[in-house]
Amino acid sequence: MIRCINVCKSFDGREVLSNIDATFERGKTNLIIGQSGSGKTVLLKCMVGLHEVTSGDIMYSDINFSGLSNTQRSEERKKIGMIFQGGALFDFATVEENVMFPLNMFTDMSVEEKRERANFCLKRVNLENVNYLFPSQISGGMQKRVAIARAIALNPKYLFCDEPNSGLDPITAGVIDDLIMELTQEYDITTIINTHDMNSVMQIGDKVIFIYKGKKWWEGTKDDILDSDNQELNSFVFASEMAQMVKKYHKRLSGK
Amino acid sequence: MNFFTSIGKYSLFIYRVFSKPEKWSIYYRRTIYEVDKLGLNSVGIVVIISVFMGAVITLQTAYNTSSPFLPTYIIGLAARDSIILEFSSTIVALILSGKVGSNIASEIGTMRITEQIDALEIMGVNSAGFLVLPKIVATVFFFPVLTILSIFVGIFGGWLVGEFTGAITTMDYIKGIQWGFVPFYVTYSLAKTVVFAFIITSVSAFHGYHVKGGSLEVGRASTKAVVVSSILVLLFNLILTQLLLK
């Protein structure tokens, strides 16, 4: 479980996050949604320590992550897996070497064991016969799956995903979403996903937090969204015509 | 104020670069890779530059010392000392600051904007140490090899042009390059190269590591890395010459 307690973040005096209080539960896919520039990426980066919080605390179970020294933080980070928006695969390494990288750095496994583990992770994300290709030689969807395989290589306790299906077609995006949800439940991970893809929200949103102008504006589940009267949330979620039709249809069915 | 901020940031960066590696064997493999990429891949350009440099120095010395009161072997001597003292260390370092410096700054800068450095940090890897220490070790150990190569090739280039243009005979040239040889000059040249290698690599990596923005900023950082490291090479050339040859 991860908790944000009164998290504030400012850049050069400009407040980007204001008193964010949120709890992200274990074994669930926790989604942070919001418009571009609302502060959701900053919140995610604060949670993993890429940005220092201006005030407030980030708690990993009982550990105050934001109060740890760099060395302690490095240790704690070995329990974290992260999927970046662009994949962030290492250009200098092949697919297999990318997945083996955390194993090389932090385990004393033999080469065979590491290769076996890497192949297991690649198979888990439905990737085969790409081991010796470089990231530039595979598609965007494959890169995302390699990033997931790398993120789960060390059996993380926490999985952070920054817009994991941006730039992907709806089918591939759905595959990535399903994969993240399956892994979350299978390994009982605390997963936090940053997204503005409404399909993802409705597909895997066990818990949804809506950030608006740097503040936590709304919190609930994917089912609560359809019944919510929150104006800002509605104008964000149901911005497209198709989404408005879904809402109308839902209202008609539920008789509200 | 900006200058002092940069010095502070650079010092912190160097401190992180020299922090204890997570795993020595990985750093060792990365160093071998960097020796190949930054060192061996520069052999070609060093050879080409050195051969022409030696040739031009020999010709210029020959045309400017055509006095009956000066022995012709002085051309070989002047070429040798110019190459050892200045050209093979400083000029080659300036050329390498362009080739290697821009390569390092753009590579690390691209890793920064594509979040690869963030990915390393999230894994708990000291990204500065992992990316930069192998490069510094590789260049500090391999650039002196390039300098020695440059000295030999430069002197060979001088002989080649002297022989073919008739500016100096082979006998006189060989006598000149042997006459009054001071072995310390080679030590001085290699000492300068080690310092220049450290400056070029660390300054370029520093500029690449702190890139913010997109591809335009990577280009700017790359240019800045070359300019700053070239100026620092010239400055430290002056300081080391005063310290070592006094």
Give residue limits of the domains in chain B.
22-244
User: pLDDT digit string (tens) for A157-176?
Assistant: 999 999 888 878 888 888 88
Distance from CA of B146 to the nearest CA of A (A): 25
**Angle, helices B127-165/B92-113, rounded to nearest 10 degrees:** 150
* A155 reaches B (C-beta below 8 A): no
Q: How far apart are CA B34 and CA B46, in angstroms?
A: 17
Residue in B115, B124, B125 nearest the CB of A84: B115
Contacts of A100 in chain B (CB under 8 A): none
Residue A256 confidence (pLDDT) above 70:
no
* B36 lies within 8 A of chain A by CB: no
* Alpha carbon distance A189, A160 (integer Å): 10
Which of the residues A65, A71, A82 would you substitute to probe the B interface, choosing the one with the greatest number of B C-beta atoms within 10 Å? A82
Write the pLDDT tens digit of every residue in A62-106: 899 988 888 888 888 888 999 998 889 999 999 999 999 999 998
Long-range CB pairs of A240-248, under 8 A, 24+ apart, other chains included = A240/A198, A243/A198
A200 vs B98: CA distance, rounded Å: 47
pTM as predicted:
0.88
Is B180 in a helix, a strand, or coil? coil
Per-residue pLDDT of chain B (246 residues; tens, 9 = 90+): 688 999 999 999 999 999 989 889 999 999 999 999 999 999 999 999 999 999 999 999 999 887 888 888 999 999 999 999 999 999 999 999 999 999 999 999 999 999 999 999 999 899 999 999 999 999 999 999 999 999 999 999 999 999 999 989 999 999 999 999 999 999 999 999 999 999 999 999 999 999 998 999 999 999 999 999 999 999 999 999 999 987
Pairwise CA distance, residues A29 & A22, whole Å: 14
**DSSP string covering chain A, please?**
-EEEEEEEEEETTEEEEEEEEEEE-TTSEEEEE--TTSSHHHHHHHHHTSS--SEEEEEETTEEGGGS-HHHHHHHHTTEEEE-TT----TTS-HHHHHHHHHHHH----HHHHHHHHHHHHHHTT--S-TT--GGGS-HHHHHHHHHHHHHTT--SEEEEESTTTTS-HHHHHHHHHHHHHHHHHHT-EEEEEE--HHHHHHH-SEEEEEETTEEEEEE-HHHHHH---HHHHHHHT-SHHHHHHHHHHHHHHT-
Q: Does domain A1-79+156-222 have CATH number 3.90.220.20?
A: no
Tokens 């430069």 sit on residue: B154
Find tokens 């929200």 and name the residue: A201
* Angle at B229 (CA atoms; ends B224, B230), nearest 5 degrees: 100
Structure confidence at residue A199 as a pLDDT band (50, 70, 90): confident
**Domain range annotation of chain A:** 1-79+156-222, 93-155
pLDDT digits (tens, 9 = 90+) for A109-149: 999 999 999 999 999 888 888 999 999 999 988 998 899 99
pLDDT score at A169: 83
Helix, strand, coil content of chain B in percent (nearest 5):
85, 0, 15
* Contact between chains at B124 and A82 (C-beta distance less than 8 A): no
Residue with tokens 């839902």: A250
Name the phi and psi angles at B182, rounded to 5.
Answer: -110, 105
Q: Which of A43, A61, A73 is nearest to A3 (CA)?
A: A61
Structure ipTM: 0.85
Give the separation between CA A3 and CA B190, rounded to whole angstroms: 56
Q: How far is CA B158 from the centre of its chain?
A: 22
